[in-house]
Structure 1
Amino acid sequence: MSYCNGKSKAIVEYYFGDKKLKRFETDLVPIDVQTNEPGNSGVCWRFAGRGVNNSDNYEYFACGTSPSYAFNGSGCNLYMDGVMLAGSGYEYLAGTNTVSRVDNMSPTSGYLTSGNCNCLAECEIKVLKDGQIIFSEKGVCPLKFHVTCDDECPEGSHKCTHNKYPGYCCVPCKEVGDKLKNIANKVGR
């Protein structure tokens, strides 16, 4: 979507899952904004079992939604969402393999541990001018953004002047309205 046609600058305010508001400003207008917000990245799963070629126990952690094992003729390979994990290095003795959902990567003492359980999905925002990326950033999902042009306020807010830079602020109408209703309800009791 194109923003700020016929204006002199664009301001993109955005935040990721940490809700820390960030700002990107450019004079290269108009701009397009693209976001990449992948679906659920899954949960952490713990694959465990005894190795085919020795008596050691192994475990492997991975993120996804559908964990499984598949027998390959000599042992069982690990799969997540239909994709084999860890190559043939993790091959479990059939019948000793287990998979369980875990809240985080918590290795069991005595096991050889590998894998990655950073299951937080990563979102990306890109600002483009004439199809060329002029700014991008990634962060933990979800991603929210809005664009304003020149010294305008975003939709759903009101512009108020004050003596500090930049000489105005944008007040969100719904938030202020809700606060006023709350005060009126308290006073009216």
Structure 2
Amino acid sequence: MIYCEGSKKVTVTILSPKLTIVVDAPAMVVIGSKADSFTHVMTAPISESYNFFVSSVSMNPPGQTYDNGARVLSCPIPSINGKNISSNFDNYYGDNIGSCSYDVTLQGLSINGVLYPSDDGRFTVSCDDDCPPGKCKCHSDSYPGYCCNDCASTSAKLKAIGDGLRSKQ
């Protein structure tokens, strides 16, 4: 989806992990993916970690094998757990000969064609220097010079302070 047409800049805040990206407007923001690959020497369990959510892993080419000294074994398809890929198999790694190659698809939030990590694809967008709906703009000494606080929460806190002051009069 295209955001902030007619604006000068776009601020995209990825909610998890917390990350703020400022780009020239308009901005194309979509769930995106990129490909990666790895080759694993079969002398230890597979354990790969990424900054991105792993959406798929496949053997490339299919049907690969390795030798454990006693017999030829098929390369396993590792399991996916969020940003991690793992597989535990063949306890006699010292006898293994060979390696297995895998293709991995990583998922994140694509902003103007650049992929950023996103645990769940949730984000907010604000145009120019405005805060997203439901947020109030306030001054900040850190970049970008302002912050966006939850309006309802800020209003409730201010009301509680005012009520406390009135009760002391």
TM-score (norm 1): 0.46
Give, in whole Å, the separation in 2 of the partners of 1:6 and 1:122: 32
Number of matched residues? 124
The residue number in structure 2 matching 1:75 is none
The residue number in structure 1 matching 2:73 is 58
Amino acid aligned to 1:7: S
Provide the secondary structure at the position in 2 that maps to 1:104: strand
Matches within 5 A, 1:47-86: 56-63=71-78
CA contact (8 A) 1:11 1:24 kept: yes
Q: Does 1:150 align with 2:134?
A: no
The residue number in structure 1 matching 2:26 is 30
Q: CA offset at residue 147 of structure 1?
A: 1.4
Give, in whole Å, the separation in 2 of the partners of 1:20 and 1:163: 22
Determine which structure has greater relative contact order: mean sequence separation of CA pairs < 8 Å that are 6+ residues apart, divided by chain length: 2
Q: CA offset at residue 22 of structure 1?
A: 2.4
Distance 1:35 1:140, change over 3 A: closer
Matches within 5 A, 1:150-169: 150-162=128-140, 165-169=143-147
Structure 1: runs of 5+ lacking an equivalent: 66-102, 184-189
Give, in whole Å, the separation in 2 of the partners of 1:24 and 1:39: 22
Amino acid aligned to 2:56: S
The residue number in structure 2 matching 1:92 is none
Q: CA offset at residue 138 of structure 1?
A: 4.8
Which one has the largest radius of gyration? 1
Equivalent pairs: percent with the same residue? Answer: 23
Amino acid aligned to 1:153: C
The residue number in structure 1 matching 2:115 is 137
Provide the secondary structure at the position in 2 that maps to 1:62: coil
Give, in whole Å, the separation in 2 of the partners of 1:24 and 1:50: 44
CA contact (8 A) 1:9 1:149 kept: yes
Q: Does 1:124 align with 2:108?
A: yes
- For residues 76-108 of structure 1, the C-alpha deviation after alignment (integer angstroms, 9 at most, x for no partner) is xxxxxxxxxxxxxxxxxxxxxxxxxxx932242
Amino acid aligned to 2:131: C
CA contact (8 A) 1:41 1:64 kept: no
The residue number in structure 2 matching 1:20 is 17
The residue number in structure 2 matching 1:10 is 10
CA contact (8 A) 2:54 2:107 kept: no
Give, in whole Å, the separation in 2 of the partners of 1:140 and 1:125: 6
